[in-house]
């Protein structure tokens, strides 16, 4: 999976998830992901850590969604406002 994440986003994504595991907290991160077809997509990932009664992490639950169209629309709107 990480080999498909844009190189400059890999450390930030890994650090975000590891910090959530350490703290037992939720996490949220946005990164670029290369598809099988070679296209770059902007992905928003949100998740949370699940622990058992002893405090051990048992699961990382989350959802990832493609926000490429949304981010591109936002950039176009910002550009239009500046002109």
For 26-51, the pLDDT digits (tens) are 999 999 999 999 999 999 999 999 99
CB neighbour list of residue 13: distance below 8 Å, 6 or more residues apart: 2, 5, 29, 31, 45
Positive/negative CA dihedral, 60, 66, 68, 73: negative
Confidence of residue 82 (pLDDT cuts 50, 70, 90): confident
How many CB atoms are closer than 10 A to CB 25?
Answer: 11
- Identify the pLDDT of residue 53: 95
pLDDT at 20 over 90: yes
What confidence tier does 76 reach under pLDDT thresholds 50, 70, 90?
very high
- pLDDT of amino acid 3: 95
């Amino acid at each position: 999976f990480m080999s498909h994440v844009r190189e400059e986003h890999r450390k930030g994504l890994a650090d975000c998830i590891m910090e959530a595991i350490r703290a037992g907290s939720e996490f949220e991160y946005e990164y670029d992901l290369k598809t099988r077809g070679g296209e770059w997509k902007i992905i928003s990932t949100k998740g949370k850590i699940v622990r058992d009664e002893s405090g051990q992490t048992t699961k990382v639950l989350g959802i990832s969604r493609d926000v490429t169209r949304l981010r591109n629309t936002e950039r176009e709107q910002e550009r239009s406002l500046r002109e």
